[in-house]
Amino acid sequence: MTNVLIVGSGPTGLTLGIELARRGVAFRIVERSSGPAEGVRGKGLQPRTLEVFDDLDVVDEILATGGAYPPLRSYQGEQVVWEGRMDEPREPSPEVPYPNLVMQPQWRTERILRDRLAELGGHVEYGAGVTAVEQDAEGVTATLATGERVRCAHLVAADGGRSTVRKLLGVGFLGDTHESDRTVLADVRTRGLDRDHWHLWGDMAAKVLHVSLCPLPGTDVFQLVAPYTGEDDPRRILAGHAPHVTLDEVIWRSEHRVNVRMAERFRIGRVFLAGDAAHVHSPAGGQGLNTGVQDAYNLGWKLALGGERLLDTYEHERMEVAADVLGLSTRLYREREHKRGGETDQLAIGYPDSPLSEGERGGERLGGHLDAQRGTHFTLFAATGRDHGDAVRVHPPLDGQEGVVLVRPDGYIGYHGDESGLSAYLSGWGIAAPLSSAR
């Protein structure tokens, strides 16, 4: 029997697949579309996501093929009327090794994750969407579009905002769809603009955008973004504001409606919702893709360990985060704020109220120390000679540390306190069983 069936092969599903593959958990990833997705869609990778990608061993390629967000240049016709930045570049530090937002087209992020998955022996099964889901006390049976019935211990729905699995289970998706608030997206080629700036036409003082062209790193392509005002042809949209710029080719286009919604539950028995299947955001602040990746990063090690009490913490932790992020992205969207910084980098996210968090620093992200944390293990910072099992790797105490600090595989402190209470914590959560340290 397949241990975990992952439905959907976007960044959320691929991250989860890598997490399970690293731990030797039997899984399959099925995808309803016939092949990899096209078009840019999400393009901003936040500092916290880069830390996750460091652990997954893909950050070097992400950084090598991506790029910094270019400075903004606003025009009236051909005249430059304003220049600025979304965020001022920051220098890396021991606590924040990846301090800056990285621009990376989503199709390339997915390709890099698929390649890493293949290195670990996994692959995506295309043309295999889910058409029915049944579950009982022992497992889940999913029927695929191919007619195959798959039996699995757990199913993870990472199949997007229109999630088939969520609908089959009758889970409410609460929030709003702003039908009148639509955006035209397109990938285009033009020789009429430099690739050192993000070019915008509109009124920056009034926070009104007519159309923008953003150069995508490592390509000869620009992403066109424009609010829909009755015209959906990229050439005609651009001609209305920058007639001197000619589009040589429209490679891909789509239309986006602003959705702000969250599922009523993230866990339904043996089924979990993750990524856009669980929460959809406005595009402001670049939060959606990043939040989905971190859903998967939170869930993967818990699925590997199993245990109902541990699996319950996924919903407890990630629903609160999703609600906070939805509030942030909605506020930024309403304010039309282009500035970015600490509130969007997701480094401040933590789980202080989680049942998994014990002690003064419980639930806090441990900044830095990525070398010690890299892998599938728990990391214990302590001056100890005691053996806490194969799942735990011991390192010397942190500067100024009191007691012992146990860091979960996803980089958050689980236990902070006297070592005398650590064994009870580990056994209580079923962490004593060895985990594979394969990368």
Average pLDDT over residues 234-246: 95
192: left (phi over 0), alpha (psi -120 to 50) or beta: alpha
Q: Is the pLDDT of residue 199 over 50?
A: yes
Average pLDDT over residues 196-205: 92
User: How confident is the model over 289-323, as pLDDT tens digits?
Assistant: 999 999 999 999 999 999 999 999 999 999 999 98
Q: Which residues of 65-92 are buried (b: 16+ CB within 10 A; e: fewer)?
A: bbeebbebbbbeeeeeeeeeebbeeeee
How many other C-beta atoms lie within 10 A of the C-beta of residue 323? 12
Please, what is the angle between helix 47-55 and helix 288-305, to 10°?
Answer: 40
What is the DSSP-derived secondary structure letter of residue 397? P
Q: Distance of CA 157 to CAs 168, 273, 391, 436, Å?
A: 11, 5, 28, 25
Higher-confidence residue of 182 and 412: namely 412
What is the DSSP-derived secondary structure letter of residue 417? E
435 band by pLDDT with thresholds 50, 70 and 90:
very low
Least confident of 144-148, 178-182, 242-246, 421-425: 178-182
Average pLDDT over residues 156-167: 97
Least confident of 58-67, 108-117, 257-266, 268-277: 257-266
Q: Is the pLDDT of residue 5 over 70?
A: yes
List the beta bridge partners of residue 215. 222
429 band by pLDDT with thresholds 50, 70 and 90:
very high
Which token pair is 283?
């595009």
Q: What is the maximal distance between C-alpha atoms in the chain?
A: 72
Please, what is the angle between helix 11-22 and helix 288-305, to 10°?
Answer: 30
Helix (H, G, I), strand (E, B) or coil at 202: strand
By the 10 Å C-beta count (0-12 exposed, 13-18 middle, 19+ buried), 379 is classed as: buried
How far apart are the C-alpha atoms of 85 and 75, rounded to whole Å?
A: 15
User: How confident is the model over 168-197, as pLDDT tens digits?
Assistant: 999 999 988 766 778 899 999 998 899 999
Q: Is the pLDDT of residue 434 over 80?
A: no
Work out the mean pLDDT of the chain and round it to a whole number.
Answer: 92
List the beta bridge partners of residue 389. none
- Strands 198-203 vs 72-76: parallel, antiparallel or unpaired: parallel
DSSP 79-135: EEEEEE-SS------SS-S--S-EE--HHHHHHHHHHHHHHTT--EEES--EEEEEE
Nearest Cα to 128, choosing from 33, 36, 12, 4? Answer: 33
Average pLDDT over residues 116-129: 98
Residues 237, 228 contacting (CB under 8 angstroms): no
Average pLDDT over residues 119-141: 97
What is the DSSP-derived secondary structure letter of residue 5? E
Length of the chain measured in residues:
439
Nearest Cα to 61, choosing from 17, 124, 119? Answer: 119
What is the DSSP-derived secondary structure letter of residue 188? E
Percent of the chain scoring above 70 in pLDDT: 95
User: How confident is the model over 274-285, as pLDDT tens digits?
Assistant: 999 999 977 665
Average pLDDT over residues 410-439: 82
Domains defined for the chain, CATH in brackets: 2-66+97-176+260-335 (3.50.50.60), 177-258 (3.30.9.10), 352-439 (3.40.30)
Q: Is the pLDDT of residue 334 over 80?
A: no
Q: Is the pLDDT of residue 340 over 80?
A: no
H or E, element range at 189: strand 173-189
How many other C-beta atoms lie within 10 A of the C-beta of residue 406? 24
At 406 the pLDDT is 98
How many other C-beta atoms lie within 10 A of the C-beta of residue 104? 27
What is the DSSP-derived secondary structure letter of residue 11? H
List the beta bridge partners of residue 358. 415
Amino acid at 208: V
Residues 75, 242 contacting (CB under 8 angstroms): yes
Q: Is the pLDDT of residue 341 over 70?
A: no
